[in-house]
Structure 1
Amino acid sequence: MRFCFIVEANYRLESMPTVIARQLVQWGHAVDILEPSNTVTSLCDLKEQVYDAYVLKTVSDGPGLCILEAAEAAGIPTINNSRAIRLVRDKSLCAAFAYAQGLPFPRSYFVANSELLKKIPQEDYPLVVKPTNGSSGRGIHLVNSPAQLAELKVDGPSVCFFLAQCYVENPGYDIKLYVIGKDVYAVSRESPLHPDLEVTNRLLPLKPEWLSLARRVGEIFGLDIYGLDVLESSTGPVVVDINDFPSFERVPRAVSRVAGYVLHLAKEAKLKRQEQPRARGAVNREGPQKLAKADRRKRTGVSSEVPQVTREEPIRPGVAETQTSGELPVGKLR
């Protein structure tokens, strides 16, 4: 199969998703690397490039998502889909959608500039303030009271708008839930709000409520490969952030698992595309026969319908983990 990985400049030296691309190449597939900030992309011949799928690792306000949406508009499968990525990449949009869908999410406010934070009701403090286009835990601040706003320094050239969330009381560390299809892995992570608390980043036993919550988030947002930051509160797990293509740190055999699922999604999409023309052709050729059969069923009361058979998910490749890291050249991988 043939893939195009859209990788923003920010992630050129990070292992994810370049190790996924290299794993696919080791399995005999072709991968092209597209870096949006250094590439002129022709929009007129996207379908002629014959990619089985586009895979995106983007920053919140980067150009990669525009290219992914263009590929999707041209009928090319994408992993994840562009709507889901947009929903989670804008933190204010993510919060509004999660809250509307009944997910356990903190009370949140959108503010266009830091001066507006003083208008948030005092009873909603402490607040967690973060940029709506932030990522990797950068630019997050805990504000315990309105008096601390005078000391807050959040404005900068890369900051767009702000999300202010009511602080959720928790043990002082984050729980990262990594999801690959229906498989969920839980990892403890140190919190950017509690840097003095010593936390060991390690794989945790998966609680049933974490599993249920992680899968529900994927169904609601339409994500296939994703992660969510969860806090354990007195009332149960609370989601505070969702990521469309996380690092999968501490997940066993993460590279082969993610690469295998990317391959599975691309194969499923290819089968669906191949079935559509056959289905249309069958309707055109068999229309008169179907009408005749329907007429016979009316007269005899006998049906020739066949029960639908579902196709099971194929076994994922059992290939050893790839440990490749470092810079990946833009262009073709063979």
Structure 2
Amino acid sequence: MRLCFLVEEHYRHDGMPVEVIRQLDAWGHQVDVVRPGGSLLRISDAVRAGSHDAWVLKTVSGGPGLPLLEAAAAVGLTTVNDVRSIRGVRDKALAAAIGRSRGLPVPVTYAAARPELLVEIPESEFPLVVKPADGSSGRAVHLVPSPDRLAAMLPVLAGEGMLIAQPYVPNSGIDLKVYCVGGELYATERRSPLHPDRGVRERHVPLPAEVAAIVDQVGAVYGLDLYGVDVLLGPDGPVVVDVNDFPSFRQVPDAAAKVARAVLELARTGSAVAAAAFVSGAGRIPQQAFGGGAPTVDAQPVRTSAAAGDGR
């Protein structure tokens, strides 16, 4: 197969996707690497119908790769993940709106185009977690304990673009990161960016059944095949605080081969998960984007994904 990987400069030497590209090459597949942030591109030549079996995106949330992926989809090329699904989670405000409207346990979310607008959030919602709507890798995530502290932080928040704010979920200071690859789920523990002084060794851990059902539903709601979910185990149960397309897959056993097989399978078949999600309305912006109400989760996972082949 012939594949095109869009790789941001930030990930140029990263194990994900470098090791995946090496694995695909070792299996005899042709992989073209495009660096949208570091190359002058002749778009008419780069994006052509029939030029590749699939395009794969590994860029930072605010990077220039997503428009190129959308251009590839527009001329009929398969994308991994589905480009509509990627757009739905890269904007964290949109992701929160979609998630709550579809019953995922996502915190109440406020969105503000300017940081000074956040001062209108009721004091009862504090402490808050404030972060950029297009952030990634824990960048610029702030725990804000009080309205006074928020007012003092406004100059720090300026220049971050659209911001979201969510009430802080009390937790142990340990994030649970769950990865989905090839229809299988893998859970890891890691230190929370809100608790940088806590000594936590990143490690593979058993996945609770309740969390597995929620993560499976995340794939169905957003139409994702390869993804990661950040989960907090709060006093009222698991809470979804972030969703990532094509994450690092750290601590996943034999991750490069597993991801490579999944990419090949999706290149061959496309994403049935994404098709089902958009038919059912997950890809549309909900009429009520943000608001209260207790989220609910279906008792049974609603997503099914066939395991990928041997990659050869």
**Which of 305, 308, 316 matches 2:310?**
316
User: Where does residue 299 of structure 1 map in the other structure?
Assistant: none
User: Where does residue 28 of structure 2 map in the other structure?
Assistant: 28
Deviations 1:275-329 (CA, angstroms, capped at 9, x unpaired)? xxxxxxxxxxxxxxxxxxxxxxxxxxxxxxxxxxxxx7554349xxxxxxxxxxx
Structure 2 CA distance for aligned equivalents of residues 45 and 131 of structure 1: 31
User: Where does residue 168 of structure 2 map in the other structure?
Assistant: 167
2:114–2:158 Cα contact (<8 Å) kept = no
> 1:188 is matched by which residue type in structure 2?
E
Would you say 1:155 and 2:149 are equivalent positions?
no
Structure 2 CA distance for aligned equivalents of residues 41 and 86 of structure 1: 24
**Secondary structure in structure 2 of the residue aligned to 1:200:** coil
Deviations 1:251-274 (CA, angstroms, capped at 9, x unpaired)? 11111111111111112249xxxx
**Secondary structure in structure 1 of the residue aligned to 2:214:** helix
User: Where does residue 53 of structure 2 map in the other structure?
Assistant: 52
User: Where does residue 11 of structure 2 map in the other structure?
Assistant: 11
Structure 1: gaps of 5 or more residues: 271-311, 319-334
- Could you tell me how far 1:43 is from its partner in structure 2? 3.1
2:183–2:307 Cα contact (<8 Å) kept = no
User: Where does residue 222 of structure 1 map in the other structure?
Assistant: 223
2:49–2:76 Cα contact (<8 Å) kept = no
Structure 2 CA distance for aligned equivalents of residues 74 and 95 of structure 1: 30
Instruction: Note closer, same or farther for the CA distance 1:180–1:43 as it changes in structure 2 (3 Å cut).
Output: same
Q: How does 1:223-242 map to 2 (within 5 A)?
A: 223-242=224-243
Q: How does 1:88-237 map to 2 (within 5 A)?
A: 88-152=89-153, 153-155=155-157, 157=159, 159-237=160-238
- Could you tell me how far 1:47 is from its partner in structure 2? 3.6
Moved >4 Å (runs of 4+) = none
Would you say 1:70 and 2:64 are equivalent positions?
no
Number of positions where the alignment pairs a residue of Structure 1 with one of Structure 2: 276
Instruction: Note closer, same or farther for the CA distance 1:9–1:49 as it changes in structure 2 (3 Å cut).
Output: farther
**Secondary structure in structure 2 of the residue aligned to 1:316:** coil
Structure 1 CA distance for aligned equivalents of residues 244 and 49 of structure 2: 31
- Could you tell me how far 1:130 is from its partner in structure 2? 0.3
User: Where does residue 80 of structure 1 map in the other structure?
Assistant: 81
Larger radius of gyration: 1
2:176–2:232 Cα contact (<8 Å) kept = yes
- Could you tell me how far 1:156 is from its partner in structure 2? 5.1
Q: How does 1:256-271 map to 2 (within 5 A)?
A: 256-269=257-270
- Could you tell me how far 1:198 is from its partner in structure 2? 1.2
Structure 2: gaps of 5 or more residues: 272-305
Structure 1 CA distance for aligned equivalents of residues 168 and 95 of structure 2: 17
**Secondary structure in structure 2 of the residue aligned to 1:154:** helix
User: Where does residue 290 of structure 1 map in the other structure?
Assistant: none
Deviations 1:187-230 (CA, angstroms, capped at 9, x unpaired)? 00100111121111110111111211111000110001000100
TM-score (norm 2): 0.84
CA-atom RMSD, angstroms?
A: 1.8
> Identity across aligned pairs (percent)?
49
